Amino acid sequence: MSTDPLPPLREVIRRHDLGARKSLGQNFLLDLNLTRKIARASGPLEGATVVEVGPGPGGLTRGLLMEGAGRVIAIERDSRCLPALQEIAAAYPGRLDIVEADALDVDYRALVGHEPARIVANLPYNVGTRLLTGWLSTMEWPPFWESLTLMFQKEVAERIAARPSTPDWGRLSVLAQWRSKPHILFEVPPQAFVPAPKVTSAVVQIVPTAAPEGVALGDLETITARAFAGRRKMLRQSLKGLPVDVPALLLEAGVPDTLRADALDLDGYLRLARAFSALRGDGARTG
């Protein structure tokens, strides 16, 4: 479908009095050429089930439907936006489900069922990282999502896709990369949004990969939390306080005790998580 029968988004916003609310982290995308570009970036959409968080007046929603998504599940907590979304649902019969809820509280597996789903969203700035870490931290793996195509502030996107020994390498990088592969697709300038934020944004795609054997998510989170809390310290110092002998932990993992957190690569953190589990005698509680 090259066009849709709905009015321009600025008219929709004016008619429904949908001023963006800072308290909800709202910045609306009104350019349907851009929203369709984001939709296409998620991959071929014909027949696909897509979960969208924070659709607002529906710019990206319309882009997804115009590009052929079979079913879009739009999760919106701002009741002001529901009439505009209902107009889209009427224009695309049977293809848009509107869920009034806080995306942080949704049971996504129950929502999408057992069919593979993609998440494509211009995430609210104030909860974007919390939503991402929740999707990355699910114990079920492979997860309910087959890909994430998400808009973040550029600085967050760079942390997600960062490499070791760079200033952006941190806990979020390790969590995003230990069993999935992220990459930045393209940047979006502030003027693309209403209202325009003070920062550049970027669209990131994350695709799940096989979970490394013998690595427990909880152990990896414990190790990275301790290490990056003292990222300028040597690991023999920053890991103090763990309930194991730290020199033995580093020796078991084959990690030099003089390294700093930002110099240790992903494989090093996976080795530390395995060694942490072994030294505590827990065995490998993978997830």
CATH of 217-280, one of 1.10.8.100, 3.30.70.270, 3.40.50.1000, 3.30.1540.20: 1.10.8.100
Give 124-179 pLDDT, tens digit per residue.
888 999 999 999 999 999 999 999 999 999 999 999 999 999 999 999 999 999 99
> What DSSP assignment string belongs to 34-77?
HHHHHHHHT---BT-EEEEE--TTTHHHHHHHHTTBSEEEEEE-
Report residues of the chain scoring pLDDT below 70. Answer: 1-2, 282-287
pLDDT at 213: 95
Sign of torsion over alpha carbons 104, 108, 110, 111 = positive
Task: List the binding residues.
Answer: 27, 29, 54, 76, 102, 122
pLDDT at 286: 42
pLDDT at 191: 94
* Architecture label for domain 9-208: 3-Layer(aba) Sandwich (3.40)
Can you read off the two tokens belonging to residue 129?
Answer: 């990282």
Helices (H), the chain: 9-16, 32-41, 59-66, 82-91, 108-112, 128-136, 154-160, 171-177, 217-229, 235-238, 246-253, 266-280
Using CA atoms, how far apart are residues 246 and 257, in angstroms rounded to an integer? 9
Domain ranges of the chain: 9-208, 217-280
pLDDT at 282: 56
Task: List the binding residues for S-adenosyl-L-methionine.
Answer: 27, 29, 54, 76, 102, 122
For residue 56, the Cα-to-chain-centroid distance in whole angstroms is 18
